Structure 1
């Protein structure tokens, strides 16, 4: 009974932390982006820059996390990041604030989200048995999808009142979630007595080094693969295809539904069929989802694109985190997962800046879909060279 309670308590807290820092924080802005432009809060260029600022903040999060751990406990850093994420959304409700104010807050949202992404999953996974680690990771990372679903569902309703109401509503949801899990982070993570010896820290085998390098490259390409959907999907639907904002919100909610169930589905697949096979399937399905708008823009194609990219955006994160654990072991998981997050952050940050710069100059977003689908094909190639052989 105590193990079940621990599972429910920690899994829920991990889900909430990822939801606040990454789900709501990053995806609510995507849902808001077209209406911010239409209501003249920002120009198209400035709105793109703010979207990229969040991703640049994400680059700063992993090294900030490593540095701050020498001075503060993991629990303190998680709580601080949850609060900063919540208040960064509330602060964006100040319409009269200068552009630099929004730039700072979106960067803070990115930093705090990355800190949560680096610290929370290894902490939660470490508390559960080996045979359910992928499923537990799936529950935690489903917070990304729930955030997308919440933003797609509630943002259009809140915007019907005002843009300020949307920011305040999102911030209130994040703050409430923070309060609900505040006490959970007082738990202590006991050392794993089955962990590897200190000598394990100094060297990995040849197969492990090759595999972890390939996984890192695949994860970096994956960051480019989801950028058009994560930055411009709603804007593409509303302004390029001429849909209503409500329709754009619907497809974003579909993305969110897929993202909510995707990590759980991929976690189960990883535990049952193996992480490498599950990753190859996940990257392949995601590449198809990104490429679908190039082939057709009817309702079925757009629905499938939203669902597939939604499912396998956090779904691949679940599998990569657990595959990293399988390759390097428990003792090195946090270190290498931090490196994975950093590689992902740099790739998506650079990609986001480039896309944000050129997107307003393009006649269509189709060029971005081509680039991203190609990047995901490279992810598939990288995973084929991995192995857990010692």
Structure 2
């Protein structure tokens, strides 16, 4: 049998789904926010509410994916989520629409993004050989960074025409990715590659339960670990350090480049050296990246911080999803990955609200960097306590 290529029909479809649902569906709005406020589509408060609606939708989407599977096939849910994610931008091109219209679409974008995040990676990964699962997972999750890069690149160009063009252009990119991969999703092929983790519906053993609980906690702390960079990084560079907007934009672009390559790099590392070792290295590098601004604010430190946090934000998602599969097995993967996605969303949501509330009262963002570095140190400790039969 010929070897399976890393980038193939199914892994590309997985990449496209994560790109549409998360890279574009959730994160492209961040690039649009300032323009929407400047062009008086929304007030600053309304724009923030729309951003929060996406997050609330993401929190709701994780449990919704489990509920909907009792009525619809995974392929049907993926297709529906792809279409809804695409139309969440196309539908927002109506400037005359009431605020509730935009609120509904941003909430739908969050729900669709969560459904795709929960369902797509387990489905794609289990169709590939054991020895390349982490790399395939990396290809799929690279859609987050690629989507952010695409939206960050095209949004300024489209805005030069008008705001409607930006909504339509981003939506068209998502719709194109949906059309290109549409015929892949009915093919829910049973895995037939190599040796896999035991697939069973019985309860987990004691060591499996302890390990998956530790991974669960590590992933929950991880959500807090990246918040200062995702919420305040550009503002920190521009206002606290005193650099220009162009410099802030450059470092955000570096973050995006890191997010695009990070999942693939961590996937290769995970397949070669083992998932536990890869996670320990990834969390350590991310903690260093978050802590770097505490040590220095020179250009090299800012560049390294942007790149490291950018790489290992989606890179850790890649490894955690694959490590969950290794611990609990194929049939329980989607269930436990869905629970972790919801925990991440809740932790991220609560952390973001708290940080956004207290940040204006702080004289420096350094306090937030300390909190997030500490959270990532706890993640490292949690992963160190895990084990699987492979490691025994």
Asked if TM exceeds 0.5, the reply is yes
Offset, 1:226: 1.3
Offset, 1:63: 1.1
Partner of 2:313, secondary structure, is helix
Structure 1 partner of 2:109: 109
Distance 1:93 1:238, change over 3 A: farther
8 Å CA contact 2:127, 2:191 repeated in 1: no
Offset, 1:240: 4.7
8 Å CA contact 1:125, 1:133 repeated in 2: yes
Q: Post-superposition, which runs of at least 4 consecutive aligned residues in structure 1 deviate over 6 A?
A: 193-199
Range 264-273 or range 154-163, more displaced: 154-163
Distance 1:238 1:300, change over 3 A: same
Distance 1:178 1:193, change over 3 A: closer
Deviations 1:318-341 (A, max 9, x none): 100110011111121111111111
Once the two structures are superposed, the pairs formed by residues 305-316 of structure 1 within 5 Å of their partners are 305-316=305-316
Range 338-347 or range 13-22, more displaced: 338-347
Range 367-376 or range 7-16, more displaced: 367-376
C-alpha distance in 1 between matches for 2:312 and 2:366 = 20
Distance 1:93 1:228, change over 3 A: farther
Range 99-108 or range 239-248, more displaced: 239-248
Partner of 1:198, secondary structure, is coil
C-alpha distance in 1 between matches for 2:199 and 2:129 = 24
C-alpha distance in 1 between matches for 2:124 and 2:389 = 26
1:325 corresponds to 2:291: no
Structure 2 partner of 1:343: 343
Gaps of at least 5 residues in structure 1 are none
Gaps of at least 5 residues in structure 2 are none
Calculate the TM-score normalised by the size of structure 2: 0.91
8 Å CA contact 1:153, 1:250 repeated in 2: no
Distance 1:313 1:33, change over 3 A: same
Offset, 1:78: 0.5
Corresponding pairs, count: 390
1:98 corresponds to 2:98: yes
Calculate the TM-score normalised by the size of structure 1: 0.91
Distance 1:101 1:117, change over 3 A: same
8 Å CA contact 1:156, 1:245 repeated in 2: no
Offset, 1:143: 0.5
Offset, 1:124: 0.6
Distance 1:187 1:309, change over 3 A: same
Distance 1:241 1:124, change over 3 A: same
Distance 1:232 1:27, change over 3 A: farther
